[in-house]
Chains A and B, each alone.
Chain A
Amino acid sequence: MKNTNVMALLNAALAALLLAGCAKTEPKSVVRLATTTSVRDTGLLDALNETFQADGRYTLQAIAVGSGQAMQLGRTGEADILWVHSPDDEKKFVEEGYGVERTTFLHNDFVILGPEADPAKVKGSKKVADAFRKIAAAKALFVSRADQSGTHKKELKVWDAAKVKPAKEYYLEAGQGMAGTLSIAEEKKAYVLADRSTYLSMAKNLKLVIVSEGDDLLINRYSLILANPAKFPKVNAPGARAYFDFVLSRPAKELIEKFGVEKYGQQLFFYDYAVK
Chain B
Amino acid sequence: MEFILEGFRKALHIILSGNPEVFAIARLSLTVSLAATAGAVLAGVPLGSWIAVKKFPLKKLLIALVNTGMGLPPVVAGLVVMLFLARSGPLGFLNWLYTPKGMIIAQFIIALPIITALSISAMQNVDPKFYNQILALGASDRQAIWVCLKEIRLTIVAAVIAGFGRLVAEVGAVMIVGGNIRHQTRMLTTATVMETQMGNFDMAIAIGLVLLALGFVVNLALTVIQQNKVLTR
B214: min CB distance to chain A, Å? 15
Q: Mark A1-42, 1 if CB is under 8 A from B, else 0.
A: 011101100110011011011101010001010000000110
B62-96 with Cβ < 8 A to chain A: 86-88, 92, 95
The 8 Å CB contact of A20, one of B35, B182, B197, is B35
**Given A15-B38, A24-B100, A179-B194, A234:B92 Cβ within 8 A:** yes
Q: Is A257 an interface residue (CB 8 A)?
A: no
Task: Tell whether B173 is near chain A: CB-to-CB under 8 Å.
Answer: no
Number of chain B residues whose Cβ lies closer than 8 Å to a Cβ of chain A: 39
- A62/B181 in contact, CB under 8 A: yes
- A239: min CB distance to chain B, Å: 12
> Considering only CB atoms, which chain B residue lies closest to A79 in the complex?
B87
Chain B residues, CB < 8 A from A202: 198-199
- Please classify the interface of chain A as helix (H, G, I), strand (E, B), loop, or mixed, using the class held by over half of its residues: helix
Considering only CB atoms and an 8 Å cut-off, how many residues of chain A contact the other chain? 43
Chain A residues positioned under 8 Å from B200 (CB to CB): 205
Q: Are A183 and B31 in contact (CB under 8 A)?
A: no
Could you say which of B39, B97, B194 contacts A18, with CB atoms under 8 Å apart? Answer: B39
Asked if B213 is at the interface (CB within 8 A of a chain A CB), the reply is: no
Closest residue on chain B to residue A4 by CB atoms: B150
Give B139-158 as 1s and 0s: 1 = Cβ < 8 Å from A's Cβ atoms. Answer: 00000000001100100000
B38's partner among A18, A61, A180, A201 (CB-CB below 8 A) is: A18
17 more contacts with CB within 8 A, not counting A17-B31, A41-B198, A76-B88, are A6-B225, A14-B41, A17-B34, A20-B31, A21-B32, A21-B35, A46-B182, A64-B180, A78-B87, A78-B88, A78-B97, A177-B197, A183-B196, A183-B199, A205-B200, A206-B199, A234-B92
Which residues of B does A touch, CB under 8 Å? 31-32, 34-35, 37-39, 41-42, 86-88, 92, 95, 97-101, 104, 149-150, 153, 179-182, 184, 194, 196-201, 225, 228-229, 232
